[in-house]
Structure 1
Amino acid sequence: MPDFSDSEYDEIREKIIGMGERSARKSYYPELQKRIKELEEKQQTLMELVRTLEEQGTLLENTILEKDLAIRELHHRIKNNFQIIQSIMGLGINSIRNPEYREDFLKTKGRIDILARIYIIQLEKEQFSEIALAELIQNVIDYIKYNRNNKSYNIKFDILLNKIEALKQEPMIDIDKALYFSLLINEVLMNCIDFGISDEHPEIRVRLAQFGFTISVSIEDDGPGIQPEDLQKETVGISLIRALSQQIHAVWQYTKGKNGGSYFSLSLKRDH
């Protein structure tokens, strides 16, 4: 250990732990105080930012809640409007005496009923983004069976889903396409009932199939079959089928079935 004099030892000690003029502690103290003050200011700024974010988060939650309530109220108003229209049309049927006009009116009412039925399903299940295709088809079939009971027929619905690893769920369709799709299926089934079934073969076969990312729907009857010239006529039914298919970006075709009846096929890509 070096040999220091008392004065040298005191000088070294003062530099290390003292507060004298030559103290190392004293020389760094102002800088330390400055740094501490800067950190305190940054801490205060950070706390104010956190409070602001919390206030904005609360405001955002309230805004989302208000919009959710407004959307639900809008959906229920639309549902009520559908019911009003259905009631008015139901009353109007009784005043129509001409059988042909009455049948056309019933078809129009049926289209509106299908729209209302699908919309109510969305509300009940809170499905506002997508819905299962099989469920849509089954609801259209159930509606027709219940409301078109003036003819004796049977509708068989078969589902063939070739699922692959990437497609573990059944085929779905976006809500904005669901109404078009339902109207399209309704229109084809009504054509089958009006022109494609007979007393000898009162059966309609519906199949929903999935092959990879392609969805196929086929509807077949055992009636006289649709004629090529019938497809060229601008009837309400054919016009609707053509327009609705375009809306959902689907390809459709009418051909002769195995048993001589009409065979309708529709193919479209999966939305999900």
Structure 2
Amino acid sequence: MLNMRPYEKEAVRLAIGRAFSLKPRYSNYYGRQLEEGDDYVETDSSLVLRKKEGDFYRIYIMSVSQADVVDILKKLPGVNVLNIPAKNDISEWRTLMQSAGFDMISMYERYYYKKVKERKNAQTINYATQEQTEVIYALFQNHFSSYTDYLPAKDELAGLVEQGNVIVNYSEGQVCGAFVYELEGRKCYLRAWYDSGENGLKLLFDVYCIMHLKNISYAYFWVNSTNTNVKKIHELLGAVPDGLKDYTFIKK
């Protein structure tokens, strides 16, 4: 029987401190904050954090014992998704995940543009409005996977729209595409892009224009390793992989 504990800010902070002090051999935790609705399991050897994302949990672990953390992961209720970002071989992680009953469902690669070329865009850049949030949310949900694509929740998407970080494309007066980007100092994170319109590259070039207006030349993004068409488009425009991959495992 798992001793699942509901999120409590100070208790989680102390648990994370204890886990780090053990110098964990297995860890995919990078500082993600928990909140109400999340939970965790702590033992002498492991800390497993579960962050609620819609109808599943995103899992973060820190452990010095494969046997202990496998035992915890096996017993987790519900749908649980765990990501392993790595540049090196993950065979040890694969063994751990398989032992815990998790299956790998995707591998994403990180690409970057070191210098985005300026493009003269003769068309208007269309910033999304709050009234379009539902349409954009549905567009992403229908064409991407919540498990693998780190899609913004509806309230987060509304906030990004409010900040001017979502642009849209139209076809016959209807929203046919949307692009979510986030400015991080001198970098731009190209977070989500889908467009079914005939001028599918418009939104990408719109983001290029926005970056140049803000004097930002570096951008990065994640792409499914099997999505060869999108990879080719970005590579032709100058993007290159940096070697970091994100492996997604799931247990239902």
Name the TM-score, length of structure 2 as normaliser. 0.25
Q: Which has the higher contact order (CA 8 A, sep 6+)?
A: 2
User: Which has more radius of gyration?
Assistant: 1
Higher strand share: 2
- How does the TM-score come out when normalised to structure 1? 0.24
